[in-house]
Amino acid sequence: MVSEHPSEPEFILFFCMIFSHQFNTNFGSFIVIMTCISDFTILYTWFQMYQSIATIIILCSFLGLSACSTAPKPVPSQSEIPATEIEPPKISEKESQKHQIATLERKALLAKKTQAWAEFIQFSQQLWHLSDEDNQAAIEFQIWHSLKHLPASTLIELAEQSPTLANWTTFAEITQQHPIWQKQRLKDWQDFSLDDPTALYNYHLLPALLTQLNHRNPVTRIAILLPFTGQYAGISHQIRNGILKNHFQQLKHQKSALEFDFYDSSDLTQIQSLYQTAMAQGAEWVIGPLRKTAIEQLTPLAPKNVLALNQVDLPSIWQFNFKSESEAHQINQQLCHQNFQRIGILSSTMDADTRLAQDILFGWHQQSQNRNQTAILKTYPARNPNLRQALGSLINEKQSQERNNNLRWLFGQNLQFTPRLRQDLDAIVLVGNERRLAVFKPQFEFFDLNLPTYGTSKITPSQLFQTPLNPDLAGLIFPTLPAAILPVSVETAFEAYGWDSLTLVQNLNRLDSGLCLNNGVTGRLKIQDREVDHLFIWARYNARGQAVPLHLPNPSGTP
C-alpha cells in the first residue's frame, strides 16, 4: 500500500529547497542541519500543523522571486542615440580594379553600339591603362578596326573634336592606303606621334602592322592551265618557257620554295574540273586559261585567284591580255607630247590594223576638243597593195598631178613637173607589220618627205634582241616591249608574256588599282579594276637599222 505521506528523504529535500530559497540560506548547509534532527516524527508533526502556513510561504517565495528581479532599463529615444558612421566593407585593390574594368567594358560596348565614337575611344583608352599587355594590344586593335570602317565624313568630324581623336583617325586613314604607300606613311606617323602618350597604337598595333608589311607571305604553289595540245600548243609552250625562265632567274638571286603544276586545258569541258583539282592540290594561284571560251567556263565559280591570259567580261577574274588595250592612247599621248597638231594615218585593210588605226583617229579627235588638232586616215588593200599610190593619196600627190595635167592642157605643152605635196602634216603614223613598212619607208625618199614617222608595236621584232639589222626602217619610231631592245633571257613576245604573268601573280597581293610594276619585260604593268595592261617603251631604228631605246619623256597622261 502506497503511503500518501512523503518519505523521510523526500520530505527533507523538499523542506530544504523551500527554506533555503526563502531565507537565502545555502541549500547544502540546510540539509546538514535538518539531517541532524533525530526525531523525524516531531518535525513531520510540526510540518502538518503548519502545512497551510508553508503553502503560503512557498507561494510568497515565488512571488518574491518575480518582484526581486532586475527592472528593465528605459529605451532611449532616437535623438539620444549617438550618431556613428557606418563604414563599408573594405575592398582589395585587385577587386576594385576588376570592378573598374567591368564598368569601362560595359560603357565602351554601349558607346560602340550607339556609335558614340568619341566616348568609345575615351572609355577604351581608360580601359587600356588598366589592362595587361595582351589586352592592351586587343584594345588597340578594336579601336582601329572600328574606325577604319567608318565613312570619311565621320572621321573628319571626329578629328575636329580633340587631338587624341585626330591621331586615331589619321592612323586609320593611313592604314587604308595601298601597302606600297602605307609602309612609309606608317613609319612617318610613328615618328611624328612617338612622344604623344595618347597615341596608344604606337605600343603594339603599329609595330605589328609594319612587321606584317615587311614579311608578306610569298606565293608557294601555282597552277598553269594552258592548251598544250591543238591549235594553241605553240603559244602555250612559249608562255610556259617564259614562266620557267623567270623562275630560274629568281633562283640565281634568292632561294624559292615555289612549285608549279601544269594542266592541259585543251578540253573546254574539263576547265572547271581542272581548276578544282588545282585547288585541291594546294594551288594558291592559277595562270590561265588562254582562250576566251575556256575562261568563260569559270564564270559559275567566280574565282578570285585566277590570272586569265585574255580579256573577257568577268570582273571577278584578274585579266592580262597579250595585246595592249591602250596602244592607240599611248601613241596619241606621245604625238601630243611632241606638240604635233596634224597627223596622217596610213593603214592596211586588215581587221586588226584597221581597228588600231581607227582607235588612233578617234582618240586624236577626242583630244582635239581642247586643241586645234586634225587627223587624216587612208587605207590600202592588204593584198597586192600599191604602196606608192597609198602614200601618195595621203600626201595629195593625185591632186598635184591633176593640177599639172590641167596646166599642160591649158598651155598645150609639157611642163617640168615636181609634185607639190601637202605641207600641213606634222607626222605620219604607219600601221602594219615590219615587212610591209620596210617596203613603205623608201617611198618617203621618192616624195622627198622629211616628216617624223611612227609605227606601232606590230613592228616589234619577232625574235627579241637578236633581230637582224633592217636599214629600210631607219628613222622609224615605234612602241615596243623592253625585251625587244634590252638584254633579257626571253626570246619571243609570248615568252615575255609568260615571264610577266609569273611576276604579276607574285605581286598582285600588294598591287592596287592605278599602280604599276615597272620591271615587266612586256612594259610597265598597270592594274586597273582587275585588268592588267602593259605600257610600252619607245624605240627607234637607227641608220644601221638597229632598234635602240628612244628616251622620250613619259607623258603625264599615259595610263
**Residue positions counted in the chain:** 559
**pLDDT tier at 441, thresholds 50, 70, 90:** confident
* Alpha helices in 397-475, H assignment, sequence order: 397-411, 434-440, 443-446
Q: What percentage of residues in the chain have a pLDDT greater than 70?
A: 74
Q: Which pLDDT value is given to residue 90?
A: 66
Mean pLDDT lowest for which of 67-76, 106-115, 250-259? 67-76
Residue with cell 594558291: 284
Q: What are residue 9's phi and psi, to 5 degrees?
A: -60, -45
Give the least confident one: 57-61, 230-234, 450-454, 479-483: 57-61
Q: Which class is domain 221-320?
A: alpha beta
Average pLDDT over residues 409-423: 53
Please name the residues in contact with 544: beta carbons below 8 A apart, sequence gap of 6 or more: 469, 471, 474
* pLDDT bucket at 91, cuts 50 / 70 / 90: low
3-class DSSP state for residue 386? Answer: coil
Q: Which helix (H) or strand (E) holds 347?
A: strand 342-348
13 vs 290: which has the higher pLDDT: 290
Q: What is the pLDDT of residues 287-298, one digit of tens each?
A: 999 999 999 999
User: CA quadruple 514, 526, 510, 551: dihedral positive or negative?
Assistant: negative
Give residue 527's pLDDT.
86
Residue 37 has pLDDT above 50, yes or no: no
- The pLDDT tens digits for 309-366 are 999 988 889 999 998 889 999 999 999 999 999 999 999 999 999 999 999 999 998 8
Among left, alpha and beta (phi > 0; psi -120 to 50; other), residue 60 is alpha
Selection from 18, 129, 508 nearest residue 285 by Cα: 508
- pLDDT higher than 80, residue 53: no
pLDDT band at 149 (very low <50, low <70, confident <90, very high): confident
Confidence label for 75 from pLDDT (cuts 50, 70 and 90): low
Amino acid 434: pLDDT: 84
pTM attached to this predicted model: 0.63
Separation of CA 464 from chain center: 38
> Stretch 88-114: mean pLDDT, rounded?
85
The predicted structure's pLDDT at residue 402: 47
| Whole-angstrom distance, CA of residue 500 vs CA of residue 522 | 7
CA atoms within 13 A on the CB side of 420: 8
**Reduced to 3 states, what is the DSSP secondary structure of residue 92?**
coil
* Measured distance CA(128)–CA(83) in Å, rounded: 43
Other residues' Cβ atoms within 10 Å of the Cβ of residue 49: 10
What's the chain's average pLDDT?
80
Q: Is the pLDDT score of 38 beyond 90? A: no
- Contact call for residues 288 and 303 (beta carbons, < 8 A): no
- In the chain, where are the structural domains located? 1-46, 97-200, 221-320, 328-491+534-549
**Do 221-320 and 328-491+534-549 share a fold?**
yes
| Cis before 289 (ω within 30) | yes
At 222, give phi and psi (nearest 5°): -130, 135
Options 3.40.50.360, 3.30.70.1520, 1.10.357.10, 3.40.50.2300; CATH for 328-491+534-549 is: 3.40.50.2300
pLDDT given for residue 516 in this prediction: 74
552 confidence band (pLDDT: 50, 70, 90): low
Decide which of 436 and 104 is more confident.
Answer: 104
Q: Which amino acid is at 449?
A: L
CA distance 293 to 315: 15
pLDDT computed for residue 355 by the predictor: 95
Confidence of residue 176 (pLDDT cuts 50, 70, 90): confident
